[in-house]
Amino acid sequence: MKAIAVYPRQPNSVHLEDIPRPSLADVASDVGVLVRVLKVGVDATDKEINEGLYGDAPPGAKHLVLGHELFGVVEAVGPAVTRVQPGDYVTATVRRPGGSIYDRIGSYDMTSEEVYYERGINLLHGYLTEYFVDEEDYIVKIPPGLCHLHVLMEPMSCAAKAVQQAYEVQRRMKVWRPRMAFVMGAGQIGLLATLILKLRGLQVYTCARSKPPSLKAEIVAGMGAEYVSLEQTSLDDLADRVGKADLIVDATGSSAVAFGAMRVLGHNGVLVWTSITGGDRTIELPSDEININWVLGNKLLLGSVNANREHFEAGIKDLALGEVMHPGVVERILTNPVEGLDNYGEMMRLLVDDPLALKVFVNVAEG
């Protein structure tokens, strides 16, 4: 069967690979699930793997099958599977456990090991193919009423984890009543984080470069948040106007913005970084100013990566609530379908060259 793959660390090696079709017998336990892939979303991670910046093939393989944002349908299940059945629409988590204590309790997104295993990213093949098998623990059911949001489940899980981690860590405050949040970036994670924070009742300012009118600005407004163009208003100006934020989520992919956001976080606040910055940029910072401010304000910086099953389930619930509160808004993120695995060239072109392609996804098969 067909798969979109790269030769890791070799720039622009994206190609079509012929790989064997899996079956339930490939899973050692009786909790295997065979999934037919319907759609797969791609993002900057796939682009950067194809640029050779990171990612490795599974041991013994030359190629790595891409794809970590899955929407599929269950084709067959092992005898001990209880949570899904053939015909169910599903997504799948990305990371697989290593050996640390965190991995062993299902928090593989918090592994303390340097090596991490992620389907479609590092050391494990991904979902940009026709079928795959995995254990039930990593397969998450999608409610039929959310199927129109298909490939957004995985990005939503990362946004859900980022916000959940912020609230979790802020238990240090005994009482924490965040009033206002800044979201840096209006890509998929920024927009989905905006939704989650609005659903939690915060006043949200979502900041991105481009000037409105734009699709991103409309989606932000549709979620009841305020879009701020950093070409029109600097972050300092925003903070002068509305105050410093209690919570900031950075999802820009720019380390300069991630560090810059440190200047507009309020006392006792938390700044969450979610971007994977594969480059080697360096910037100069007013470090004394930030240092004194952060100490005097008891501020906290938190990195958040990936998501486990719990975050997928929380994200799916928030998407359901989002559909009730802001019907039809989230699906506007899904801008650029690509027809079939054969069109991998077009898929990469959109990722690399099209600044208006908010979300690129491959229609692998009809559901």
118 lies in the site for ligand BGC, by CB under 6 A:
yes
x/- mask, ligand BGC, residues 36-75, rule CB under 6 A, reads -------x-x----------------------x-------
81 or 257, CB closer to ligand BGC?
257
Q: Record the tokens describing residue 318, joined without a space.
A: 């928030």
What is the closest distance, in whole angstroms, from the C-beta atom of residue 292 to Zn ion in the complex?
36
Bridge partners, residue 207, by sequence: 184, 228
The residues in 298-337 that bind ligand BGC, with binding defined as CB under 6 A, are: 305-306
Neighbours of 318 (CB within 10 A): 22
Please choose which of ligand BGC, Zn ion, none residue 318 contacts, taking the beta carbon within 5 to 8 angstroms, the exact cut-off set by kind: none
274 lies in the site for Zn ion, by CB under 5 A:
no
109 lies in the site for Zn ion, by CB under 5 A:
no
Long-range contacts of the stretch 97-105 (C-beta < 8 A, 24+): none
**Amino acid identity of 227?**
Y
153 or 180, CB closer to Zn ion?
153
Distance between CA atoms of residues 58 and 248, nearest Å: 36
Tell me if residue 228 falls in helix, strand or coil: strand
Pick the binder of ligand BGC from 6, 73, 94, 351 (CB under 6 A): 94
Number of residues that bind ligand BGC (CB under 6 A): 11
Pick the binder of Zn ion from 4, 35, 38, 45 (CB under 5 A): 45
Q: Record the tokens describing residue 26, joined without a space.
A: 């490939």
What is the closest distance, in whole angstroms, from the C-beta atom of residue 324 to Zn ion in the complex?
26
351 lies in the site for ligand BGC, by CB under 6 A:
no
Pick the binder of Zn ion from 17, 43, 134, 136 (CB under 5 A): 43
| Residue where the block lists tokens 């939704």 | 195
Distance between CA atoms of residues 160 and 311, nearest Å: 6
With beta carbons less than 8 A apart as the criterion, state whether 73 and 89 touch.
Answer: yes
The answer to whether the peptide bond before residue 286 is cis (omega within 30 degrees of 0) is no
What is the closest distance, in whole angstroms, from the C-beta atom of residue 74 to Zn ion in the complex?
23
359 lies in the site for ligand BGC, by CB under 6 A:
no
Q: Record the tokens describing residue 265, joined without a space.
A: 């976080």
244 or 309, CB closer to ligand BGC?
309
Please choose which of Zn ion, ligand BGC, none residue 121 contacts, taking the beta carbon within 5 to 8 angstroms, the exact cut-off set by kind: ligand BGC
Pick the binder of ligand BGC from 70, 158, 272, 358 (CB under 6 A): 158
Q: Rounded to 5 degrees, what angle do the CA atoms 33, 38, 41 make?
A: 105
Exposure string over 234-271, b if 16+ CB within 10 A, otherwise e: ebeebbeeeebbbbbbbbbbbbebbbbbbbbbbeebbb
**Given the rule CB under 6 A, which residues bind ligand BGC?**
43, 45, 68, 94, 118, 121, 154, 158, 276, 305-306
**Given the rule CB under 5 A, which residues bind Zn ion?**
43, 45
